[in-house]
């Protein structure tokens, strides 16, 4: 069998569907279409597999896991009679092990998978949208329907002098085989928070600088608590900053900023930019072909994943919304089905869970309190701190809280927001509750296993009507 990723040769045939982008969204669309009997052209440029497996989710979470034992060893003394130690002996070995995992998953989940579909033809090269399909390296691929799924890349903030600084991105930071002594992280979103804590636990002196607050789109109670926990681990956080300029010297990168009217300069050996991602929508002639692009660069789509040009769809990070790998795959599946079946499938993100892999983890689904009020709901909220959750008490780790958002009149759960060491594995229960339209009373009446983090959802639901401090264990 020929190499799945070899470039196409000669004059291409007409396809039922052309998919541009060979990451999670592109593969999802191509496989969905192939399973429906369509002949698909899949176009990719660069390393196959996209962001998640190569430079995003997989490598970052692997390194986050690698430094967890260092924290657990330092925190072991919270149990009487227990003492532990752990240390990094060779960070380059840790990074190379991460690289092997990335290579294995890319091979198993992308290259090998592609070989299993005879009706998908892979074309390597930069694509350009044309009147009757897509042009790749001088070869014209024709199809009535096209899906753009070209993903995104790290963005760069507009800071005077930034172009002269050898900054790191979320991609290149994961490639460092030698840890810097100090690191300045510009941006307080989920990528900045995750990588700041990871490098801090690895022994790097880390400072986060952000324009607003940590995790600015989330619940303020969670932002405030997580900032406190990171500070306790030694991460310095400068929130509400106005960036003035950045320069490079022998000592490292120096950022001049103003905070609350006071000017200061922060210097670190390396600087990491985590101020968001930019859609890969340029260079394909999309605007010339009638596709509307948002001011931020994302391809504008409707709830059927249709662009403003008939027959052309878009999915994943390139749309600039819901930039999560599983939402990219979900949207791409809908795009493929709509392209082939007549636009009957509607994109629905109302029960979309999201996780920030800090420690404690941040896990959310549905509306925040502010979003619910903006949507016109008469909002009621409840909140329990983890010192009311038996699992946290047994673990002697009560960092965190659980906040629920509900509609006062209908009692329906609108949002759930968890900050807990094991919060990621609890959020799907809340997602199902929202998807099924459960009331907070129904959630509180549901049977949950004792001594689990997810039991905290039940306690938070009961808090709408009761004082859980007055309940015995397992009582509802």
Share in percent of the chain as helix, strand, coil (round to 5) = 35, 25, 40
Closest by CA position to 82, among listed 399, 395, 421: 395
Rounded distance between C-alpha atoms, residue 465 and residue 302, angstroms: 40
In this structure, the answer to whether residues 268 and 286 fall within a common structural domain is no
Neighbours of 398 (CB within 10 A): 17
Closest by CA position to 230, among listed 385, 356, 376: 356
Closest by CA position to 152, among listed 273, 299, 295, 43: 299
The beta-strand segments (E) located in 60-204 are 120-124, 127-130, 133-136, 139-142, 145-148, 152-154, 182-186
Residue 167 belongs to some domain of the structure: yes
Average pLDDT score over the chain: 95
Strands of 236-238's sheet in order across:
236-238, 205-209, 182-186, 270-273
In this structure, the answer to whether residues 327 and 464 fall within a common structural domain is no
Residue 71 belongs to some domain of the structure: no
Considering 258, 275, 292, which residue would you say is the last residue of a domain?
275
Residue 221: strand, helix, or coil: helix
Rounded distance between C-alpha atoms, residue 340 and residue 16, angstroms: 8
Output DSSP code: residue 7. P
Residue 8 belongs to some domain of the structure: no
Over residues 115-123, mean pLDDT: 96
Q: What is the CATH number of the domain that holds 423?
A: 3.30.390.30
In this structure, the answer to whether residues 369 and 309 fall within a common structural domain is no
Cis amide linkage into residue 360, ω under 30° from 0? yes
Number of residues written out for the chain: 476
Domain enclosing residue 132, as ranges: 17-53+94-154+278-341
Give the pLDDT band (50/70/90) at residue 3: low
Per-residue pLDDT at 13: 78
In this structure, the answer to whether residues 255 and 283 fall within a common structural domain is no
In this structure, the answer to whether residues 222 and 207 fall within a common structural domain is yes
Note the Cα 147 to chain centre separation in Å: 22
Residue 182, CA distances (Å) to 205, 254, 268 in order: 4, 12, 5
In this structure, the answer to whether residues 105 and 171 fall within a common structural domain is no
Total of domains in the chain: 3
Residue 190 belongs to some domain of the structure: yes
In this structure, the answer to whether residues 22 and 124 fall within a common structural domain is yes
Residue 48 belongs to some domain of the structure: yes
Long-range Cβ contacts of 5-11 (<8 Å, 24+ apart): 5/44, 5/48, 5/111, 5/114, 5/122, 5/124, 6/122, 6/124, 7/123, 7/124, 7/125, 7/137, 8/121, 8/122, 8/123, 8/124, 8/125, 8/136, 8/137, 8/139, 10/139, 11/139, 11/140
Residue 68 belongs to some domain of the structure: no
pTM equals 0.94
pLDDT per position as a tens digit, 176-202 = 999 999 999 999 999 999 999 999 999
Give the pLDDT band (50/70/90) at residue 1: very low
Number of alpha carbons in the 13 Å side-chain half-sphere of residue 472: 1
- 421 Cβ contact partners less than 8 Å away, ≥ 6 residues apart: 359, 360, 361, 392, 395, 397, 399, 400, 453
In this structure, the answer to whether residues 328 and 462 fall within a common structural domain is no
Note the Cα 370 to chain centre separation in Å: 21
280, 151 contact by CB (below 8 A): yes
Token readout for 173 is 């930071």
Per-residue pLDDT at 476: 59
pLDDT surpasses 60 at 52: yes
Q: Give percent of the chain above pLDDT 70.
A: 97
Considering 286, 318, 341, which residue would you say is the last residue of a domain?
341
pLDDT surpasses 60 at 113: yes
Residue 230 belongs to some domain of the structure: yes
Token readout for 80 is 């009487």
pLDDT surpasses 70 at 128: yes
- 267 Cβ contact partners less than 8 Å away, ≥ 6 residues apart: 182, 184, 249, 251, 252, 253, 254, 255
Give kind and range of the element (H or E) at residue 35: helix 24-35
Residue 309, CA distances (Å) to 14, 144, 283, 297, 346 in order: 20, 12, 17, 16, 18
In this structure, the answer to whether residues 227 and 284 fall within a common structural domain is no
In this structure, the answer to whether residues 286 and 264 fall within a common structural domain is no
351, 435 contact by CB (below 8 A): yes
Q: What is the CATH number of the domain that holds 131?
A: 3.50.50.60
Neighbours of 147 (CB within 10 A): 32
Residue 82 belongs to some domain of the structure: no
Q: Which residues make beta-bridge pairs with 418?
A: 363, 402
pLDDT per position as a tens digit, 210-261 = 999 999 999 999 999 999 999 999 999 999 999 999 999 999 999 999 999 9
pLDDT surpasses 50 at 390: yes
pLDDT surpasses 50 at 149: yes
Considering 313, 341, 369, which residue would you say is the last residue of a domain?
341
40, 33 contact by CB (below 8 A): yes
In this structure, the answer to whether residues 38 and 102 fall within a common structural domain is yes
Per-residue pLDDT at 8: 46
pLDDT per position as a tens digit, 339-383 = 999 999 999 999 999 999 999 999 999 999 999 999 999 999 999
In this structure, the answer to whether residues 271 and 282 fall within a common structural domain is no
């Amino acid at each position: 069998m020929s190499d799945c990723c070899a470039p196409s040769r000669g004059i291409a045939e007409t396809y039922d569907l052309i998919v541009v982008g060979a990451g999670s969204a592109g593969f999802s669309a191509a496989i969905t279409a192939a399973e429906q009997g369509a002949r698909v052209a899949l176009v990719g440029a660069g390393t196959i597999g996209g962001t998640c497996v190569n430079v995003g989710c997989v490598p970052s979470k692997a390194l986050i896991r690698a430094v967890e034992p260092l924290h657990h060893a330092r925190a072991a003394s919270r149990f009487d009679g227990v003492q532990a130690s752990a240390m990094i002996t060779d960070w380059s070995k840790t990074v190379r092990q991460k690289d092997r995992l990335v290579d294995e998953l890319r091979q198993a989940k992308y290259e090998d998978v592609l070989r299993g579909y005879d009706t998908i033809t892979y074309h390597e090269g930069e694509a350009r949208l044309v009147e009757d399909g897509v042009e790749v390296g001088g070869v014209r691929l024709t199809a009535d329907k096209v899906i753009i799924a070209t993903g995104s890349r790290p963005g760069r903030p507009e800071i005077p002098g930034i172009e002269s600084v050898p900054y790191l991105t979320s991609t290149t930071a994961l490639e460092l085989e030698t840890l810097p002594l100090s690191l300045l992280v510009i941006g307080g979103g989920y990528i900045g928070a995750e990588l700041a804590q990871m490098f801090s636990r690895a022994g790097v002196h880390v400072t986060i600088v952000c324009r607003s607050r940590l995790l600015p789109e989330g619940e303020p109670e969670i932002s405030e608590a997580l900032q406190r926990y990171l500070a306790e681990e030694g991460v310095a956080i400068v929130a509400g900053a106005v960036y003035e300029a950045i320069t490079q010297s022998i000592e490292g990168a120096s950022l001049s900023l103003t905070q609350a009217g006071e000017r200061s300069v922060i210097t670190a050996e390396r600087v990491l930019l985590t101020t968001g991602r930019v859609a890969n929508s340029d260079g394909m002639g999309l605007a010339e072909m009638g596709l509307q692009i948002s001011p931020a660069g994302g391809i504008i789509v409707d709830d059927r994943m249709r662009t403003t040009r008939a027959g052309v769809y878009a999915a994943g990070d390139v749309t600039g919304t819901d930039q999560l790998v599983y939402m990219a795959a979900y949207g791409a599946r809908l795009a493929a089905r709509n392209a082939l079946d007549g636009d009957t499938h509607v994109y629905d993100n109302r029960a979309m869970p999201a996780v920030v892999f800090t420690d404690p983890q941040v896990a959310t689904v549905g509306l925040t309190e502010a979003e619910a009020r903006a949507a016109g709901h008469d909002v009621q909220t409840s909140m329990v701190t983890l010192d009311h959750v038996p699992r946290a008490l047994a673990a002697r780790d009560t960092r965190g809280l659980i906040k629920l958002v509900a509609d006062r009149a209908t009692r329906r759960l609108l949002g759930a927001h968890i900050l807990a060491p094991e919060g990621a594995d609890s959020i799907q229960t809340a997602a199902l509750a929202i998807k099924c339209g459960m009331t907070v009373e129904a959630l509180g009446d549901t049977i949950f296993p004792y001594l689990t983090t997810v039991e905290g959802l039940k306690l938070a639901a009961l808090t709408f009507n009761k004082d859980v401090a007055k309940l015995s264990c397992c009582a509802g």
